[in-house]
Chains A and B, each alone.
Chain A
Amino acid sequence: MDLPNYYEFFNPIKINAGENALNTLSYELEQLAVEKPLILTNQMLDEIKILDDLMDSLAEVNISPEQIIKNIPNQATVEIVKSCAEKYKKYACDGIIALGGEAIIDTAKGINLLISENTKDLKNLRGIDTIYSKMEPFIIIPTATGTGSEAALKAVITDDQFNKDLEFISSKLMPDLAVIDPRMTYEMPPRLTASTGIDSLVHAVESYTGLQRNPISDAYAFSALKLIGSSLKPLVKDISNKYHRMAMNNAALMSGIAFANSRAGIIYAIGDACEKIAGVSHGDALSILLPHGMFHNLKFEYCRNSYQDILLALSGPEKYSNTAAKDRAVMAVAEIAKLLNELQLLTAIPLTLSEIGVKRREFPDIIEKAMHNTAVLASAGKVKREDIESVLEAAF
């Protein structure tokens, strides 16, 4: 690999992963000197008894009902963050536990921002590295692996009043502890398992080809790709398989760490724009765009070199050695397209943007949005509007 002239890598998160990892929670709260955590989750996780598993693991900790907020919506908003922060203060909480997916995790990050920075207006903190205070103890228990939010240094919180997403990027948004317990994700159906698995795949691929890739992020991305190559399809076929579930949980975490430290690229930028402009699922858009974005990147030599490694990680040494060196990059893209087709047969994941409802007339807005995503700055080459348009056309 090419060693960058300069890079930064940061991952202070303690990770407790594996069977019954949740049982370590009381001990970890003691270590973090947390006696009164505020617990955030949603109604669905309460109904399917995931919250009960968490409460069982906290049997030794005195948790009153007002410390549990069960109605976090599917989108982190300024209003919900403010009301939760008020409860945090009112009940004199001293730490935050986020049990759930991206929206719950981003809400928790927003609460931590308001409390730690002692401000009433989140808007003042948007940007990169704008946080200077010591943060409150923060634990994440992800239930929808794939997003890598548990390792992300980013939070997106919607300001409904101004119809604007506030974005915050800071290493201080990372939690003190991430608990990856397979019990938390057993209930994910095949379609969601496939979709979140591809999300992790996109994170690993993009972090392996971004401008800020470095030896450490590469190590995380490569390991994640190996796990995805060996476990994603078997898990979709047998969603109760504990080994493959845990493998994909680890892959999501590792690709999330790699992604947080090497930034994203053109695939993420366009996927994010499709979600914001056309209102389609982020995971679906990413899975559709992945092979087309990779195909676009084939014109850059350093991406072709990276894709050779991706072939090795995803498809194993036999496939790698049986493929001529000059063909390995193209073969990596073909292998990913094949994996997506197989997952489509198993779970009916979409393969074109038109299938999920993106309209061609929305392309100009999607292109503008993608061009103004920071991810595009870290992509190979100097991405132009016509590059994004050609990827969109190919994926349509």
Chain B
Amino acid sequence: MKYLHHLTDKIILSLIGRSFVVLSSIDVRMQRELSYLPEKFILALAVDHHAPALVFKKDKQKIKYCGSHEDLSKVDLKIFFKNEEFAYQVLAAKEGIRLAFSEGKILLEGDLDFAVSFIYILEIIEAYLMAKSSADDSLEYDLDKQISRFSLFFKALLTKKEKGEI
């Protein structure tokens, strides 16, 4: 079961990363949150403190997906879960990310206000990716979607990660 959750975390994280890139140029709510972050801001998301993190970079109001990295010395904000099982609960939409944050299951290195922005962004991505019933139950987010789930999956699969160092 643990291995299955680990695999789920990896797949969903990868999907979240690519969806972030797609939605950053489509969804106006996400663009508003992005505008709160400084230019060239580098974000990282990991399932636990010691795991490699997915890295994203804001560049000209758009998001570049830099893939998974272990060296996070240049990262401005790192968000990670207290343990992998907590990550699974959130990534599999069994628990809202906002509640998980309030419960102390999510930790971060960096500025708190930027972290809140990132949490709103993750909420929006999850609301797009999850089936409506899951999103309604765990995210309580009645989102007016600006792209269908199928189109988002398709575009996300075609999204390439940036090459080279972050």
Residues of A whose CB lies within 8 Å of any CB of B are 4, 6-8, 126-130, 164, 166-167, 169, 210-212, 263, 368-369, 371-374, 376-378, 382
Q: Is the CB of A376 within 8 A of B110?
A: no
* Set B105, B106, B113, B140: member contacting A6, Cβ < 8 A: B105
- Nearest A residue to B98 by beta-carbon distance? A377
Q: Is the CB of A212 within 8 A of B104?
A: yes
Pull 16 A–B residue pairs with CB atoms less than 8 Å apart, ordered by A: A126-B109, A126-B110, A127-B111, A128-B106, A128-B107, A164-B111, A167-B111, A167-B112, A210-B102, A211-B102, A212-B103, A263-B102, A372-B117, A374-B112, A378-B101, A382-B98
In the assembled complex, B153 has its CB within 8 A of some CB on chain A: no
Max count, chain B CB within 10 A of own CB: residue among A4, A7, A127, A263: A127
How far is it, in angstroms, between the C-alpha of A369 and the C-alpha of B98 when the chains are bound?
17
Knowing A4-B103, A167-B111, A212-B103 are in contact, say whether A373-B116 is a contact too (CB < 8 A): yes
- Nearest B residue to A214 by beta-carbon distance? B103
Shortest CB-to-CB span from A260 to chain B, Å, is 11
Q: Is the CB of B111 within 8 A of A377?
A: no
Binary interface encoding of chain B residues 72-111 relative to chain A, with 1 for a CB under 8 A from any of its CBs, else 0 = 0000000000000000000000000011011111111111
Residues of B whose CB lies within 8 Å of any CB of A are 36, 98-99, 101-117, 119, 140-141
* Set A7, A130, A372: member contacting B113, Cβ < 8 A: A372
Q: Is the CB of B112 within 8 A of A127?
A: yes
Q: Is the CB of A376 within 8 A of B116?
A: yes
Q: Is the CB of B115 within 8 A of A374?
A: yes
- Nearest B residue to A166 by beta-carbon distance? B111
Q: Is the CB of A371 within 8 A of B116?
A: yes
How far is it, in angstroms, between the C-alpha of A369 and the C-alpha of B113 when the chains are bound?
8
Q: Is the CB of A130 within 8 A of B109?
A: yes
- Nearest B residue to A371 by beta-carbon distance? B116
Max count, chain B CB within 10 A of own CB: residue among A164, A377, A382: A377
How far is it, in angstroms, between the C-alpha of A376 and the C-alpha of B112 when the chains are bound?
12
How far is it, in angstroms, between the C-alpha of A382 and the C-alpha of B142 when the chains are bound?
10
Q: Is the CB of B36 within 8 A of A372?
A: yes
How far is it, in angstroms, between the C-alpha of A321 and the C-alpha of B101 when the chains are bound?
37
How far is it, in angstroms, between the C-alpha of A129 and the C-alpha of B99 when the chains are bound?
18
Give the residues in chain B near A127, CB-CB below 8 Å.
Answer: 107-112, 115
Shortest CB-to-CB span from A231 to chain B, Å, is 31
Give the residues in chain B near A166, CB-CB below 8 Å.
Answer: 111
Q: Is the CB of B112 within 8 A of A8?
A: no
Shortest CB-to-CB span from A285 to chain B, Å, is 18
How far is it, in angstroms, between the C-alpha of A167 and the C-alpha of B115 when the chains are bound?
12
How far is it, in angstroms, between the C-alpha of A338 and the C-alpha of B109 when the chains are bound?
43
Shortest CB-to-CB span from B135 to chain A, Å, is 12
How far is it, in angstroms, between the C-alpha of A328 and the C-alpha of B112 when the chains are bound?
36
- Nearest B residue to A8 by beta-carbon distance? B104
Q: Is the CB of A374 within 8 A of B98?
A: no
- Nearest B residue to A170 by beta-carbon distance? B107
- Nearest B residue to A125 by beta-carbon distance? B109
Q: Is the CB of B116 within 8 A of A368?
A: no
How far is it, in angstroms, between the C-alpha of A166 and the C-alpha of B99 when the chains are bound?
24
- Nearest B residue to A154 by beta-carbon distance? B112
- Nearest A residue to B114 by beta-carbon distance? A372
10 closest residue pairs by CB, A with B? A372-B113, A211-B102, A378-B102, A127-B109, A212-B102, A372-B116, A8-B104, A127-B108, A167-B112, A129-B107
Give the residues in chain B near A8, CB-CB below 8 Å.
Answer: 103-104
How far is it, in angstroms, between the C-alpha of A368 and the C-alpha of B98 when the chains are bound?
18
Q: Is the CB of B141 within 8 A of A382?
A: yes
Give the residues in chain A near B110, CB-CB below 8 Å.
Answer: 126-127
Give the residues in chain A near B114, CB-CB below 8 Å.
Answer: 372
Give the residues in chain A near B117, CB-CB below 8 Å.
Answer: 372
New contact pairs (18) apart from A6-B103, A372-B113, A377-B119, CB-CB < 8 Å: A8-B104, A130-B109, A167-B111, A167-B112, A169-B112, A211-B103, A212-B104, A371-B116, A372-B117, A373-B112, A373-B113, A373-B116, A374-B112, A374-B116, A376-B116, A377-B102, A377-B116, A378-B102
Shortest CB-to-CB span from A62 to chain B, Å, is 41
How far is it, in angstroms, between the C-alpha of A382 and the C-alpha of B116 when the chains are bound?
13
Give the residues in chain A near B119, CB-CB below 8 Å.
Answer: 377
Give the residues in chain A near B104, CB-CB below 8 Å.
Answer: 8, 212
* Set A128, A211, A377, A378: member contacting B108, Cβ < 8 A: A128
Give the residues in chain A near B101, CB-CB below 8 Å.
Answer: 374, 377-378
Shortest CB-to-CB span from A347 to chain B, Å, is 33
Give the residues in chain A near B116, CB-CB below 8 Å.
Answer: 371-374, 376-377
- Nearest A residue to B86 by beta-carbon distance? A6
Give the residues in chain B near A376, CB-CB below 8 Å.
Answer: 116
Shortest CB-to-CB span from A192 to chain B, Å, is 29
Give the residues in chain A near B107, CB-CB below 8 Å.
Answer: 127-129
Knowing A368-B36, A372-B36, A377-B98 are in contact, say whether A7-B112 is a contact too (CB < 8 A): no
Knowing A377-B98, A382-B98, A382-B140 are in contact, say whether A7-B109 is a contact too (CB < 8 A): no
Max count, chain B CB within 10 A of own CB: residue among A130, A368, A369, A382: A382
Shortest CB-to-CB span from B21 to chain A, Å, is 23
Give the residues in chain B near A373, CB-CB below 8 Å.
Answer: 112-113, 116
